[in-house]
Amino acid sequence: MCQPCRRALRECLRELPGLYEECARSLAEHSTAYLSPRVSGSRRIGIALNDAAMTVRDNILGVLATWAAMVVDERGLHARPARTASELSRFLVTHLDWLSAHAAAADLAKEITELVRAARHVLEELPPAPRRLGNCVEPGCSGVITIALGYAQGQRRRPVECAAGHTWQMHEWVQLSRRLGG
């Protein structure tokens, strides 16, 4: 595996735990299915879930665990990483030199890249989930400041704005945080 491909794989492995967590947050925020079936003539009850986000999360964990198990088995290691996206990803990054020289390196790179692409796609399909930050800090404004977390065209979007139209760029967030009292 060439150096640019190894760097790209490392970046994808490091990004996966964050994507995994963002998909987790989207599960209830953007529901598409219910855990409990709908009985004719009744209303749905149960926990609303986002099927696509659940599937991507399952795939992330399964693929990372499979590759980590291969590393453990083939290298004769005694300790297995915890079955969490962050621990599995960290484990694979730690063994990336060995993995990049493995005969299955191209398969690993393809699977990890596809996972990142799938997770980004799921998150792009969801409307940004606004989070309330506080009341607007501009004099005379009664708007509420929110941040909309999400993805657009593979890039994380984080517009911070108040309902009245005031906006803050990323380089202004620290100062805004201070003005909000945080």
pTM over 0.75: no
Residue 47: count of CB within 10 angstroms of its CB: 11
Three-state DSSP class for residue 49? strand
Task: Give percent above pLDDT 90 in the chain.
Answer: 41
Backbone angles phi and psi of 2, in degrees to 5:
-75, 165
End-to-end Cα distance, the chain: 45
Nearest alpha-carbon partner for 144 in 129, 166, 162, 167: 162
Lowest pLDDT segment from 28-32, 92-96, 115-119, 146-150 = 28-32
pLDDT for 44 beyond 70: no
pLDDT (tens digit per residue) in 134-147: 888 888 888 888 87
Q: Which of 87-91, 119-123, 158-162 has the lowest mean pLDDT?
A: 158-162
Q: Quick one: the chain helix, strand, coil %, rounded to 5?
A: 55, 15, 30
Q: Within 10 A of 158 (CB to CB), how many other CB atoms are there?
A: 13
